[in-house]
Chain A
Amino acid sequence: MEELRFFDEMLDESGGARAPYRDLAKWLEGKNPAELRKKSREAEVIFRRLGITFAVYGTSEATERLIPFDIMPRIISASEWRRLSAGIDQRVKALNAFLHDIYHRQEIIRAGRIPADLIIQNEAFLPEMIGFTPPARVYAHIIGTDIVRVGQNEFYVLEDNTRTPSGVSYMLENRETMMRLFPDLFRKYRVAPVEHYPDLLKETLKSVAPDGVEDPTICVLTPGIFNSAYFEHAFLADTMGAELVEGRDLYVEGGKVWMRTTRTPQQVHVIYRRIDDAFLDPLTFRPESMLGVPGLFDAYRAGNVTICNAPGTGIADDKAIYAYVPDIIEFYTGQKPILNNVPTWNCAKEDDLKYVLDHLSEVVVKEVHGSGGYGMLIGPTSSKRELAEFRKRLEANPRNYIAQPTLSLSTCPTHSSSGVAPRHVDLRPYVLVGDKVRITPGGLTRVALKKGSLVVNSSQGGGTKDTWVLED
């Protein structure tokens, strides 16, 4: 296989530091490895004490683990960020317009831009949502757009994450930790703040409250303390000053949603839910669900409560729909996409499948409904045996898979046992859509800590970095 070339975000071809990284490079010169190791250990102690943990499914030991935190910041210049945020803004508006359309007149299908089957027969399409319009016509309120960089001005959107994207608490805690660990370095830069994210989230949720509700009661709906992202659910509720509830704390009466309090029940107007569609309401969806609230969907359709994100938004980040997002953007905005899509082969199509099978050792294959890096194949780094096994799975159920070229993810300087070295990264900025679009400058940079690895998922040994967006 031909050697992949990677874009190094810190160093240019001649080995000099690029503009945004210049001060960092100079600062690093004065640091010895022992000092950095000490800081790295300090960071771990901070995270453990705060209880910033996540659960790894499929392991029987410790259910709570830390996501490794890398002490080297990832730095993005103001002009790079302007372009990224314009692209994200365009994308989330188009996706919300798409959601409204497919649950109403389905113009995009009539226009022949997307095959009807792909929508109607999609598991993520909820017929229960047809004809219903949520407040402000917004479906996907909280979005985490996964972006990778492959060149100076080349960014690709990998996934749109319009369901319940997680990780925003890491964005905030990473920043707090960096400010504590490296005040001197931090002062050298003009870093755009991220700490107001909870305020923006609250404003966004308020702006989509049911009509006529001036001062809505907002709550965060969590599956409970054993969920992998529980820390984040509690963190967001806490920083917004909202109530953190489980399904059993809510009930529906008279078409309205109520919290069981110590005394008089209190009406709930906006629910930021962190549980999947299927578990929301056992009366409408999965009947055996213990996590949801019976009758919630009826209260929602009656307009008495807003659910964020709306049920049925999953269709917008379905991996089979993904290939059509550029068309979706053009169709609803009349503009060319600012951010590229990664070329995608849909294994349900015979020609595409043939191409993927012929080039299996070069491509990345993902499950259509998978997430978290589980059940995927990275051709170039897989053994012959892994390739053969995956080939069987793919042939048995091609509809379940899509494939993409292996992207040469950019690298960032990262603290490792052998000093500071380049490691591959991606970026998940967090976007809020309500009465307007609110994008927090920065996001979560995920980093593949293993040398040469291209998988950044925390469940697969990835870590996170603080992401600095510079101000002009």
Chain B
Amino acid sequence: MLGRTASSLFWMSRYNERAENMTRLLEVAYRIAMTPRFASDAEEDWRSTLVSAGCCTGFEEKYEEFTQKNAVNYLLFDRDNPSSVRSSIEQARNNARSVRTAITSEMWESLNETYIGFSEVRPQHMTDDKLPDFLNWVKQRAMLFRGALLGTLMRNDGYYFSQLGAFIERADNTARILDVKYWILLPDNEVIGGSLDTYQWSTILRSVSANRSYRHAYRDSSLKAFNVAEFLILRKEMPRSLAYCYDWIEDCMSDLTESYGEKLLSHDMATDTHGLLTQQTMEEIFQNGLHEFLTDFIARNNGLSHQLSADYNFA
């Protein structure tokens, strides 16, 4: 397989994942804007959404105010924002387009239809009442593509690269969401445990579509900072947790190593990070510092992406 093909498959899936994650962040932010305030103000909520999306610096270069209109436009439609939903969809499609021969027609058609549908929407017509439906549509389109991929793509090196792209992006997204509000997850907060905290915790869970599954995973089902953190970091049943992502990444790396008959540095890096998530308890992570843990994780995850690119000639 061409190095460029591997790279395009990696980024195709990564951008599809990003489009979905951005959309989910927007959904949650929109919901916050609809909900009666708990002491916090609207500007601060949008700022925090932009930080979670990793887009705050670019936003501030372009806009003065953290208003809903500006934020939605920047996160959803703006081509100047390389991580906006529009940019992500276009990047996913461009990458797919350049490897048309390595993907199935079902995959291509689902991405292409998303692109066409998205292009037909005029940002100025995206009023508040239409936004939820539209966000839901984008999310479903991203899921459709994932389904097309899982249902039709050959399980060879191309598949592994696409999965690595998707799960590195997902891990990054979950880690970022946690890190932006890490202080409200610290056990000290448990004592306070007021309705504001409960509200913030559920917001975090919603950002990763985990609000309901949390209730099933924890038997007494009340929201606790410790449990929320554990759920999103160490619990393998949760498909957006860091541990789940690295289980999947570790499997893909093993498959790659096997199919090429050679173990490269990227595999060792993935194994190390995987170890951090399987050989520690949540207590230990809190002891050593949650913020430090997350910062280290984000850097490692990013490092893995770079090393893959070097090991497999992404060019």
Given A224-B98, A225-B97, A238-B100, are A261 and B112 also a contact pair (CB < 8 Å)? no
Segment 249-303 of A: residues with Cβ below 8 Å from B? 249, 259-263
Interface size bucket, B side? 20 to 34
Q: Is the CB of B112 within 8 A of A260?
A: no
A177 to B75, CA, bound (A): 38
Segment 39-57 of A: residues with Cβ below 8 Å from B? 48-51
Cβ of B252 to closest chain A Cβ, rounded Å: 13
Which residues in A have their C-beta under 8 angstroms from that of B94?
225
- Main secondary structure on B side of the interface with A: helix
Which residues in B have their C-beta under 8 angstroms from that of A242?
101
Q: Is A235 engaged at the interface, CB distance under 8 Å to the other chain?
A: yes
Which residues in A have their C-beta under 8 angstroms from that of B108?
51
Q: Is the CB of B1 within 8 A of A261?
A: yes
Q: Is the CB of B1 within 8 A of A262?
A: yes
Cβ of B12 to closest chain A Cβ, rounded Å: 13
Q: Is the CB of A260 within 8 A of B315?
A: yes
Q: Is the CB of B312 within 8 A of A263?
A: yes
Cβ of B96 to closest chain A Cβ, rounded Å: 9
Q: Is A354 engaged at the interface, CB distance under 8 Å to the other chain?
A: no
Which residues in A have their C-beta under 8 angstroms from that of B2?
243, 245, 249, 259-262
Q: Is the CB of A260 within 8 A of B97?
A: no
Task: Name which of B6, B98, B100, B262 has the most chain A CB atoms within 10 A of its CB.
Answer: B100
Q: Is A244 engaged at the interface, CB distance under 8 Å to the other chain?
A: yes
Which residues in B have their C-beta under 8 angstroms from that of A235?
100
Q: Is the CB of A249 within 8 A of B97?
A: no
Interface size bucket, A side? 20 to 34
Which residues in A have their C-beta under 8 angstroms from that of B116?
48-49
Cβ of B160 to closest chain A Cβ, rounded Å: 10
Tell me the nearest residue of chain B to A241, going by C-beta.
Answer: B101
Which residues in B have their C-beta under 8 angstroms from that of A245?
2
Q: Is B296 engaged at the interface, CB distance under 8 Å to the other chain?
A: no
Which residues in B have their C-beta under 8 angstroms from that of A237?
100-101
Cβ of A102 to closest chain B Cβ, rounded Å: 36
A262 to B1, CA, bound (A): 6
Q: Is A230 engaged at the interface, CB distance under 8 Å to the other chain?
A: yes
Cβ of B181 to closest chain A Cβ, rounded Å: 39
Cβ of A239 to closest chain B Cβ, rounded Å: 9
Q: Is the CB of B101 within 8 A of A234?
A: yes
Given A225-B97, A244-B101, A248-B4, are A262 and B109 also a contact pair (CB < 8 Å)? no
Q: Is B295 engaged at the interface, CB distance under 8 Å to the other chain?
A: no
Which residues in B have their C-beta under 8 angstroms from that of A260?
2-4, 313, 315
Cβ of B116 to closest chain A Cβ, rounded Å: 6
Cβ of B21 to closest chain A Cβ, rounded Å: 25
Segment 213-237 of A: residues with Cβ below 8 Å from B? 224-225, 230, 234-235, 237
